Amino acid sequence: MGAPSHCLLISPLFWTILAIGIGLSIFILMCILMCFPQWESKRTFLKRVFQHLDVIGEGEICHLYPIETIGLDSETTTNCDRIYPNSKFSSMLQLLSMTKHEDEDPMFSMLDEQNVTLTVHLIGTGFPCESVTTRQNLDRGKKIRLNNLVCSYDRNLSILSLSTILPEHLITLQFDLIGPYFVGAIRLCFSAPSDTRDEEKYTLQQLEFCQLFYVNNQTLTMNPIFAVKMTKIVNETAGFTVADDNTFSGRWIPSLTIDTLTDTLLFDENGEYIRYLFDRFTLLIEITESEFFVKNIQEPIARHTEIVLHTILFSIVFLDLFGLMFLIVKLAIVPSVEYIQRRFFPKRKQSLKDKETDPERTQSSTDGTITQCRNDISIETHM
């Protein structure tokens, strides 16, 4: 009582009763049509329709798998109580140097080929775009200049935004800004588009990651160094049926660290603050890849064949219990009640039988009285 109205609509008992009612109605209709030969064509047509009609709809409501397809709306409309998806999970760390399964190779290739965009927001600064130079640091101290930098400056908010597509995932970038300005905070963002292959068997998830670095009531150091560790996440979802293929999805997870954000150590060492601004601000970002990758596996707790088998077994057990109850009532309860009546209430049973026979005796005596009265009347008339 008091439950939401949609709970009745999704109740298994309600749909069971409804299905039994529809099934009985269809069975009675087909039996009626069978009794009339002139309606044989209509019965044949209905028979073909029912043979090709999928009423159950492959059980989308009951399966609750995989968990990615179960949104918040599905949770509230599929179950009135707490949701229990038909999924179990396992996670593990594996070395990238290990041999991959042939089904996993396309997912790793998509991750390696994904175009990652790095965006740097320098907040609370006066550096213009003309003062920015971007270089890629190579081995042995060599540097090459990058020309694909996109720069914009918001004078109202004093935010300088730098964006570039990384030519590779393992890279060291150096941003040199010339001018007597300071930086109040830095916000690093990584973004990458999504992609799918082989009819969505492999899904490359979109990357959207940002992290803000600042120090209260202080400006940042003039040569901050950020270390970014990129980790691959590979998700494998087993098929709901044995015939279904496993699906894969993957994404990058960046983790950022920095040595120091302020020049406080200089004060601790020399005992005085920096009284003059430097003429150069150098930002160094080192991007590396983790030696491990995270693999998450999702499997159904019960597969489609198991659910069908358990449903059939449950139906058989339910029918057996119903038949057992019928036998108990017929062979035990009813004879016991009759025995108790004969043993402890014999007079009551005899009185009931007498009441059943009294109306017949009363009726016969009444008929005899009426016949006698008719005979007396006829004798008087003749006299």
In the chain, where do the E strands start and end? Answer: 88-95, 117-123, 132-137, 143-145, 150-154, 159-165, 171-178, 185-192, 195-197, 202-204, 207-214, 225-237, 247-258, 280-299
Q: Which residues of 151-171 are buried (b: 16+ CB within 10 A; e: fewer)?
A: bebeeeebbbbbbbebeebeb
Going 273 to 279 to 281 to 282, the CA torsion angle's sign is: negative
Q: Cα–Cα distance between 244 and 291 in angstroms, integer?
A: 32
Cβ pair 166, 116 in contact under 8 A:
yes
- Please name every residue paired with 203 in a beta bridge, in sequence order, or none if there are none: 196, 249
Supply the pLDDT for residue 379. Answer: 47
| pLDDT for the residue numbered 1 | 45
Q: Which pLDDT score is estimated for 174?
A: 95
237 contacts: CB under 8 Å, gap ≥ 6: 66, 68, 246, 247, 248, 249, 298
Under 8 Å between Cβ of 282 and 175:
yes
- Residue with tokens 């830095």, as numbered in its chain: 186
For 126-179, give the DSSP string.
---GGGEEEEEE-GGG-EEE----EEEEETTTTEEEEEEE-SSSSEEEEEEEES
**pLDDT for the residue numbered 33:** 80
Instruction: Tell me the pTM.
Output: 0.64
Question: What does the block give as tokens for 148?
Answer: 């694909």
State the pLDDT at residue 76: 46
Q: Residue 141: what pLDDT? A: 78
pLDDT tens-digit profile, the chain (383 residues): 445 666 666 666 676 677 777 777 877 887 788 777 778 888 788 777 766 554 444 444 456 777 777 655 544 444 555 556 778 889 999 999 888 889 999 999 999 999 999 999 999 999 999 999 999 998 877 889 988 899 999 999 999 999 999 999 999 999 999 998 989 999 999 999 999 999 889 999 999 999 999 988 888 988 999 999 999 999 999 888 777 889 999 999 999 998 888 876 656 555 555 555 678 899 999 999 999 999 999 988 877 777 777 777 877 877 777 778 878 888 888 888 888 878 777 765 555 455 555 555 545 555 555 455 455 545 444 44
Q: 356: alpha, beta or left, given left = phi > 0 and alpha = psi -120 to 50? A: alpha
DSSP 81: S
Closest CA to 291 of 170, 207, 188, 117: 170
**How is the chain split into domains, by residue range?**
5-78, 92-299, 303-351
